Amino acid sequence: MRGFFILSTADKNGNVDAAIYSRPHFLEGDTLAFIMRDRLSHKNIESNPHAVYLFIEDGPGKKGTRLYLTKIKEEKNSERIDSLKRRKKQLVPTPRLSPLMPSSASTRGRVKVCIFCNNKV
Please report, for the domain that includes residue 7, its CATH number.
2.30.110.10
pLDDT at 76: 80
Question: In the predicted model, what is the mean pLDDT of the chain?
Answer: 79
> Does pLDDT of 31 surpass 60?
yes
Count structural domains, the chain: 1
Least confident stretch, 4-8, 23-27, 78-82, 113-117 = 78-82
Is the CB of residue 97 less than 8 Å from the CB of residue 42?
no
What mean pLDDT do residues 19-32 have?
A: 88
pLDDT of 89 strictly over 60 = no
Could you list the residue range(s) of the whole structural domain that residue 84 is in? 3-118
CA 44, 31, 2 angle in degrees (round to 5)?
Answer: 80
Q: Is the pLDDT of residue 44 over 70?
A: yes
- The whole-number average pLDDT for the span 93-99 is 43
| Distance between CA atoms of residues 48 and 56, nearest Å | 24
Q: What is the pLDDT of residue 8?
A: 96
